[in-house]
Amino acid sequence: MNLQKKQSMSPLDIPVLIRITMSAEEELSQVMLANNLGLSQSEISKSLNRSRYAGLLAGNYKVMKQALMDFIQYGIKYAFPQQPGALVRGVPTAHSAHPLKEEIQSSEEFVWPHAKGTVRGQAIIPLYPSVVQAALQNPQFHSYLALIDAVRVGKTREKNLAIQLLRRELLNEEYADQQESYY
C-alpha cells in the first residue's frame, strides 16, 4: 500500500503565498520568489507543494485567495500561535506598523526582533525569520505581514480591522458600510 507522505502547512507558506499574490503571474518563478524572500529554491518548491496539497494554490502560481483569506481569518492564530514576548529592539509589526498604526492608538509596541530595528517593543516571532529582511525591502509586503500578525496576536478590534483590510486587499471587498461596527 502506497500512502502519501503527510503534508502539513508551515508558517513559511503564508509569506510565500502573500508574495505570489503581490506579483503578476508572468514575472513569477521559484528563483524570483527565493530571491525576494531570502530563501532557497528548495524551500520555495516545498512551500508551493504544501500549499497545493492544502488547496491554497492551484497550478503553479494561482493563489486561491478566498481559501487563503479563510485560513488567515479562522485558522492562523491556532495553526501558528504567537504571544508577545520580552522587550527587544526590532521592526514594528501588527498594530505597531502601517496600516494599523494610523488607526490604532496603543502604548505597547509589537516588533519582530531584528538588529536593524528602530523600535523597542514586545517580541513577536515572525512567521519565518528571513521574511523580516524581505519586509524591510518591500513596504507592501511588510504591511501584509503586519496585518497577519495583528490577526495572530491582536485584540478583537485589531483583528477585525486587520481582517477588513486584508479582505479589501486580497479579495477586493469593501466593508465601508460595516466599518463603524469595528470601532
pTM for the whole structure: 0.90
Report the number of distinct structural domains present in the chain. 2
Do 171 and 99 share a structural domain?
yes
For residue 31, CA distances in Å to 8, 44, 45, 144, 158 come to 23, 9, 10, 22, 35
Band of residue 7 on the pLDDT scale cut at 50, 70, 90: confident
Within this chain, do residues 102 and 138 fall inside the same structural domain, yes or no? yes
Last-in-domain residue among 22, 56, 79: 79
* Residue 91 sits in the same domain as residue 178: yes
In this prediction, residue 182 carries a pLDDT of: 39
108 three-class SS? coil
Both 66 and 111 in a single domain? no
Write out the DSSP string of 75-100: THHHHS-----SEEEEEE-GGGSTTG
Q: Which residues contact 54 (CB under 8 A, 6 or more apart)?
A: 7, 9, 13
Local confidence band at 176 (pLDDT 50, 70, 90 cut-offs):
very low
Judge whether 1 lies within some domain.
no
Range of the domain at 154: 87-182
Given a contact cutoff of 8 angstroms between Cβ atoms, the answer to whether 58 and 64 are in contact is yes
Q: For the segment 29-61, what is each residue's pLDDT rounded down to a tens digit?
A: 999 999 999 999 999 999 999 999 999 999 889
**Does residue 5 belong to any structural domain of this protein?**
no
Kindly state whether residues 93 and 173 are assigned to the same domain. Answer: yes
* Pair 145, 96 in one domain: yes
